[in-house]
Chains A and B, each alone.
Chain A
Amino acid sequence: MYDIQINGDVHSVDVPGDTPLLWVLRDVLGMTGTKFGCGIAQCGVCTVHLDGQPVRSCSLPVAAIGTHPVTTIEGIGSDALGQAVQKAWIDLDVVQCGYCQPGQIMSAVALLKTNPHPEDSDIDMAMSGNICRCGTYQRIRAAIRSAAGA
């Protein structure tokens, strides 16, 4: 049994300790906003925040979370920065299929949290772990710049 704090709520889950957070979120708790893409920390669609830091939930065993708070895409809009990023995403029509976008948004918010006015090279660096097969990179860059100005 693990007690994990997600988006401000504590959830008790009864799973083996090696179960990655991704599957706890999706299968046990029904929070399907966080996606599965590769399972080996290569694509970023499963990105969540642990203590505000972006982490790949497919590679984070539930036993390793302890008392560190988790934020997922379902909770990212609860503060002004998250809202600004999501609004920029909508204003600039970033999404195509949309499958990678929860992870992109999580990485973008984490970047802006530590670096409120990133250069393009900072954006490229921070976002290079998030694949988008639909190729929305140009608009992601623009949306991050726009949210940074907000």
Chain B
Amino acid sequence: MSVSRRTLLGGLGGLVLAVQMPPRRARATGTIVEDVTTPFSPNAFIRIDERGVVTFIMRNVEMGQGIYTGATLLMAEELDLDPETVQLEAAPPDVAYVDKDMGTQATGGSTSTMGEWVLLRKAAATARVLLVQAAATRWGVDPAACRTEAGVIHHDASGRAVGYGEVAAEAGRLPVPPDVSLRPPSAFRLIGRSHHRLDSPAKVHATAQFGIDARVDGMKFATVAACPVMGGTLVHVNEGAARAVSGVVDILRLPNAVCVVGSTTWAAQMGLKAAAPEWNAGENAHVDTALVYRQLHDGAAQPERGIVAQEKGDAHAAVAGAHRQYAATYQQPLLAHATMEPVNCTVHVTPDRCDIWVGTQVPLRARDSAARITGLAADQVHLHNMYIGGGFGRRLEHEYVEQAVQFARQVPYPLKIVWSREEDITLDRFRPAYVDQIAAGLSSHGNIVGVTHRIVGPAVVARWAPEGLMPNGMDGDLLAAAADVPYDFRASYLDFVRRETPGVVTAWWRGVGGTRGLFVMESFIDELAAVAGRDPIEFRRHHLKNDARAIGVLDLASDKANWSQPMPKGSGRGVAVQFLFGSYLATIMDVKVDDDGSVRVLRAVVAVDCGRLVNPDQVRSQIEGGLMFGIGAALFNEITLDHGRVQQRNFNRYRVLRMNEAPVIEVHLVESDADPGGIGETGTAAAAPALANALAAATGRRYRRLPLLGKQELDV
């Protein structure tokens, strides 16, 4: 990795002031104030002004995953700073912040910590080397004789000390060393110790600014309705009735949507109701859930090979010739994101400038779209990225920014658009539905001799980042927990039959590939263990023979959960083991099925080996939250379509796990010096298979269709 001079210390201040580290609290309120008090524009990751104020620029957006804190710890470690004294800013849209794994400036795919582990420490270590060099040169001493502590460079032999700010200008003129060494883990002061979240006080006192909290002088409040059937158009709006509603200011139109503007959001909502928009539903008016599933099951049945994603040995022959064959088909539904903060965007378009206040995981894409729509140059578009009230992949889309800009360019004032929850769910871009067909052969000892597997569903990457599609047309995300498994199957075959979902746009959703794949793989392994008459953990351990870290988490979870202790009648215990996003997890869940059929999730025990821990308590927090998110989805959630319309409109019909349904979660962390893996999506992936296996143990029947509390017949 190279850190250029410009990106690292570009244009540092020339003023030399007394050594002084203002003991500031990290200011993590989420707004980006374009900083006019320092004469230098922010770039890359670190800025130090002449007063010694250190600003870290966060290229990953904070949506709950704790990356602001994690990234700050990584940089503060190498720069010898107290994390609480650093100011944090969200990165503006800029190619300097492009995530190589994601191909654009994007936060997602659990890549945040993985990507930053080396990058940010090097950026900070380079800054430190330059600052020390500048001080040493000034003093005429050997840099090696200097040390840094809490933002101050010390030369102990002479008792001299100077703050970073004071030498920042000189440091900015020094050549950047091509490479710097990083602190050895044995010297870490911050990394590996739990540190409170830096964004916590602002969020607890409600001063944190989410996109929906944007307030701009002169702005008006709006809400929208787009055609509830994808591809349909707006036919009629009862404009007179809408304008008669007190507080309604404007009614704006797009070919497929209407926007009512008011003096309050309520006025806009009442105006929209009165406007009673009528639609021409268009070509998707016939789409319903049965069609979606039928296309998937048809794909599963096609005799021709799909896109072959993995072929190891002759798996078909191995299965056919095995002592015993076993096959299963699994079906998973469309899912909404239903982030707690509904979709919203505030835009002000003037002849020579466009300002956007929004929480987005893809700021560069949003900015470029706004430039295209308004005809402005990219540098005339100013995107102010705010805290995100839950991403889960929803804010990797930016169609709502495009919609907001298209409306806002019709009016002179700043326009704040807040979608209703109904709009947020029905006009979401959905986690795809999938059908998986999987078969295995077992030897006479009950060991797996081969696995053949077919995935049927859309390729999300083909729309989101077409260049990311593999040369053979495979969506690499689907390999997770399908081709990329910790198990050693002697022979395996995986193919992908691509079937795009009619009537909706499909999108990323917390752990897409891994969440999708793990339900299938870990349910199937569990079924095979049962067929072979073996203990689910022993069976897994046997087939994990080459993977010490996987066995490590499995044994730890089994020990902590008292796996061997029998459960009372009506209760069940299920396990799932995984290697996803660079992290290992073993999850054991206990459930109770009451006589009336209601299901209670009692406890989840999770063992985690995610490599080196940056902020251990935040790993716990992400696992806890990811599991709760996954449990709710696995138990309750399915988006269905009728005449092209989504039938779930609010939390009353798109049920979310609540406090009284939330299990106790125990997280056990394994010490490891491997590179950090991602964790934000791992708990979500674990939930469905661990639950399905626990339910099977409790009831004696298999669960092959999500949601688990829905009907269990497949929609073949």
Contact = CB atoms under 8 A, between A and B. Distances in A.
A38 B650 contact: yes
B264 A23 contact: yes
B23 to A, nearest CB: 18
Given A35-B212, A90-B204, A97-B64, A127 B659 contact: yes
Contacts of A90: 196, 200-201, 204
Range for the number of chain B residues in contact with chain A: 35 or more
A100 to B, nearest CB: 5
Given A38-B651, A97-B64, A127-B659, A138 B665 contact: yes
Nearest to A137: B662
Interface string B498-512: 000000000000000
Interface string A29-55: 010111111111011010000000000
Contacts of A101: 203-204, 206
Given A74-B206, A90-B201, A133-B390, A19 B264 contact: yes
Contacts of A128: 658-660
A98 B203 contact: yes
A134 B630 CA distance: 10
Given A73-B206, A96-B64, A105-B204, A135 B651 contact: no
Interface in B204-256: 204-210, 212-213, 215, 221, 246-247
Nearest to A42: B651
B65 interface: yes
A64 interface: no
Range for the number of chain A residues in contact with chain B: 35 or more
Contact of A89 (B200, B208, B270, B418): B200
B342 interface: yes
B624 A136 contact: yes
Best-buried of A16, A18, A86, A135 by chain B (most CB within 10 Å): A135
Given A39-B421, A43-B340, A131-B658, A99 B624 contact: no
Interface string A86-104: 1001110111111111100
A138 B533 CA distance: 36
Given A38-B421, A97-B64, A23 B390 contact: no
Interface string A1-34: 0000000000000011011100110111010111
Nearest to A31: B206
A98 B658 contact: no
Interface in B543-564: none
Contacts of A91: 196
Best-buried of B246, B624, B660 by chain A (most CB within 10 Å): B660
A117 interface: no
A98 B69 CA distance: 14
A71 interface: no
Given A99-B340, A124-B659, A132-B340, A32 B204 contact: no
A24 B660 CA distance: 31
Contacts of A40: 421, 650-652
Best-buried of B215, B421, B632 by chain A (most CB within 10 Å): B421
B621 A96 contact: yes
Contact of B247 (A16, A32, A124): A16
B63 interface: yes
Nearest to B622: A96
A15 B197 CA distance: 39
A135 B656 CA distance: 10
Contacts of A137: 628, 657-659, 662
B571 interface: no
B260 to A, nearest CB: 14
Best-buried of A15, A16, A97, A100 by chain B (most CB within 10 Å): A97
A133 B622 CA distance: 12
Interface in B100-135: none
Given A93-B618, A133-B338, A140 B215 contact: no
A86 B650 CA distance: 29
B90 to A, nearest CB: 14
A135 B340 contact: no
B327 interface: no
A74 to B, nearest CB: 6
Best-buried of A34, A37, A100, A102 by chain B (most CB within 10 Å): A37
Contacts of B618: 93
Chain A binding surface, main DSSP class:
loop
A32 B64 CA distance: 19
B400 interface: no
Given A105-B204, A125-B660, A134 B390 contact: yes
A84 to B, nearest CB: 12
B126 to A, nearest CB: 31
Contacts of B625: 96, 134-136
Given A97-B340, A133-B339, A137-B628, A43 B64 contact: no
Contacts of A127: 659-660
A93 B196 contact: yes
A45 B341 CA distance: 9
B357 interface: no
Best-buried of A24, A40, A133 by chain B (most CB within 10 Å): A133
A42 B650 contact: yes
A20 B213 CA distance: 17
A100 B390 CA distance: 10
Given A90-B201, A98-B199, A105-B204, A131 B662 contact: no
B340 A100 contact: yes
Contacts of A96: 64-66, 621-622, 625
A141 B660 CA distance: 10
Contacts of B301: none
A131 B656 contact: yes
B489 interface: no
Nearest to B209: A32
Contacts of B659: 123-124, 127-128, 130, 132, 137, 140-141
A76 B114 CA distance: 39
Given A90-B196, A138-B665, A98 B208 contact: yes
A80 to B, nearest CB: 16
Contact of B213 (A32, A89, A93, A133): A32
Contacts of A33: 205-207
B606 interface: no
A90 B84 CA distance: 14
A111 to B, nearest CB: 11
A126 to B, nearest CB: 9
Contact of A27 (B265, B340, B652, B660): B265
Best-buried of B203, B221, B269, B651 by chain A (most CB within 10 Å): B203
A52 to B, nearest CB: 19
A117 to B, nearest CB: 18
Interface string B342-353: 100000000000
B295 interface: no
Contacts of B621: 93, 96, 136, 139
Nearest to A30: B215
B629 interface: yes
B430 interface: no
A99 B390 contact: yes
14 contacts: A15-B266, A16-B246, A19-B264, A32-B212, A33-B205, A89-B204, A93-B617, A93-B621, A97-B339, A99-B340, A101-B204, A128-B658, A138-B624, A139-B621
Interface of B: 63-66, 196-197, 199-210, 212-213, 215, 221, 246-247, 263-267, 269-270, 338-342, 387-392, 418, 420-421, 617-618, 621-622, 624-629, 632, 650-652, 656-660, 662, 664-665
Interface of A: 15-16, 18-20, 23-24, 26-28, 30, 32-40, 42-43, 45, 73-74, 77, 86, 89-91, 93-102, 105, 123-125, 127-141
Pick the 3 closest A-B CB pairs, nearest first: A135-B628, A99-B389, A33-B206
